[in-house]
């Protein structure tokens, strides 16, 4: 069995691996920037729409979950190509590393036409996206050479979480350094199917984790909100499956997963730092399959569509009934939260804190 280690000689590192390893240092640069860019973010109480594609969408999902939980401010995340244009928001926040993604640019233009202010986080100082928004936030120091995103995405996430949710970036950086020392779980190369789980912020990151393995190594990977896994997906699980929870997992769910013969990896701390371990796993699996994570098959740095294929079909989205008022939606959500607090308590999860006990299921 091959034992994975997080240490690679720099001369043999791919750009992807270098960028993965640089994340704690890059995050500390983000922390130093936070107070300087607060005014370039939407106001805390604004009803906010996050838009992005691929990794940026999943980062938006994580931000939306944390922001709404922390501030009770209505926050949604949509693929740029599926933005419901009849829905009312106070502001929109677009995430795009390159600032050139066609669907994002179209969505931003459509939102601006409705008089809604648009904010953006990008890695390129001069781009079509920065030309469209008044106060772009440019994280050029987090830009990447590899096609597959890692450090830009996590940097954009942590910056938004620090502004909206008072997230402790330094604590995440320290846990990421630990994740880099620990490395990826052992024995992952024997798994045929990978399933990522998470709740809240970690649910969006589970989607991103699955995408990282699919992009980099071409492996069979899926993602679900943790408690949804028993509602169908578990039927496709067996000894060939590695289930990886990015945050502490409910003990009853863990028991159900082990009963299938699957291997279980449970993150016990910061889900963003746990995502760094997924990055290490993606790099290892890509190399084991003879693939270069810098340049995955069929992917480019940005999806830029030719003009003849650019079509949002905005008119087809206008026939829907108008949603309830923002105030009504907030009241409704507050009611749902009140009801959820009355649920029977669930036994506390027990995180896995020892690297050698990552594999909690079948023999791998």
* pLDDT tens digit sequence for 56-68: 999 999 999 999 9
Where does the pLDDT of residue 232 fall: very low under 50, low under 70, confident under 90, or very high at 90 and above? very high
Query: How many percent of the chain have pLDDT more than 70?
Result: 81
- Average pLDDT on 102-112 reads 95
Contacts of 230 (CB under 8 A, 6+ apart): 253, 256
Q: Which residues contact 273 (CB under 8 A, 6 or more apart)?
A: 172, 175, 176, 178, 179
What's the average model confidence in pLDDT over 353-363? 37
pLDDT band at 12 (very low <50, low <70, confident <90, very high): low
Residue 159 confidence (pLDDT) above 70: yes
Read off the DSSP letter of residue 323. P
Mean pLDDT of the region 28-47: 95
Domains parsed from the chain with CATH numbers: 7-168 (3.40.50.10490), 183-294+348-364 (3.40.50.10490)
Kindly tell me if the per-residue pLDDT of 292 is higher than 70: yes
Asked whether the predicted pLDDT for residue 357 surpasses 50, the reply is no
330 CB-near residues (< 8 Å, 6+ apart): 72, 74
More confident residue, 334 or 129: 129
Which residues, in sequence order, are CB contacts of 130 under 8 Å at separation 6+? 99, 120, 122, 124, 136, 138
What's the confidence (pLDDT) of residue 302?
81
pLDDT band at 308 (very low <50, low <70, confident <90, very high): low
d(CA 304, CA 341): 45
Query: pTM of the predicted model, to two decimals?
Result: 0.82
HSE-CB at 86 with a 13 A cutoff on CA atoms is: 11
Over residues 294-320, the mean pLDDT reads 63
């Amino acid at each position: 069995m091959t034992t994975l280690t997080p240490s690679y000689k720099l001369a043999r590192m791919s750009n992807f691996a270098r960028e993965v390893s640089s994340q704690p240092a890059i995050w500390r640069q983000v922390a130093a920037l936070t107070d300087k860019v607060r005014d370039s973010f939407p106001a805390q109480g604004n009803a906010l729409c996050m838009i992005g594609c691929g990794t940026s969408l999943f980062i938006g999902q994580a931000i939306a979950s944390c922001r709404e939980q922390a501030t009770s401010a209505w926050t949604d995340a949509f693929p740029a190509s599926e933005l419901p244009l009849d829905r009312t928001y106070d502001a929109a926040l677009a995430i795009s590393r390159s600032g050139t993604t066609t669907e994002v640019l179209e969505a931003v233009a459509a939102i601006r036409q409705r008089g809604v202010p648009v904010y953006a986080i990008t890695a390129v100082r001069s781009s079509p996206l920065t030309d469209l928004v008044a106060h772009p936030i440019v994280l050029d120091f987090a830009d990447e050479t590899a096609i597959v995103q890692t450090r830009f995405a996590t940097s954009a996430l942590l910056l938004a979480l620090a502004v909206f949710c008072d997230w402790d970036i330094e604590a995440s950086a320290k846990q990421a350094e630990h994740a880099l020392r620990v490395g990826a779980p052992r024995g992952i190369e024997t798994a045929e199917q990978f399933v990522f789980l998470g709740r809240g912020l970690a649910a969006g990151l589970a989607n991103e984790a699955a995408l990282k393995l699919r992009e980099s190594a071409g492996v069979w990977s899926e993602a679900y909100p943790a408690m949804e896994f028993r509602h169908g997906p578990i039927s496709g699980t067996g000894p060939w499956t590695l289930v990886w929870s990015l945050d502490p997992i409910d003990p009853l769910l863990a028991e159900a997963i082990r009963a299938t013969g699957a291997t279980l990896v449970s993150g016990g701390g910061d889900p963003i730092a746990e995502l760094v371990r997924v990055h290490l796993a993606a790099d290892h699996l890509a190399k084991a399959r003879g693939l270069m994570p810098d340049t995955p098959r069929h992917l480019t740095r940005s999806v830029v569509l030719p003009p003849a294929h650019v079509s949002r079909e905005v008119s087809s989205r206008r026939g829907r009934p108008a949603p309830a008022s923002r105030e009504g939606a907030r009241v409704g959500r507050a009611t749902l939260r009140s009801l959820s607090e009355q649920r029977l308590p669930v036994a506390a999860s027990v995180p896995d804190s020892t690297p050698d006990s990552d594999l909690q299921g079948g023999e791998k």
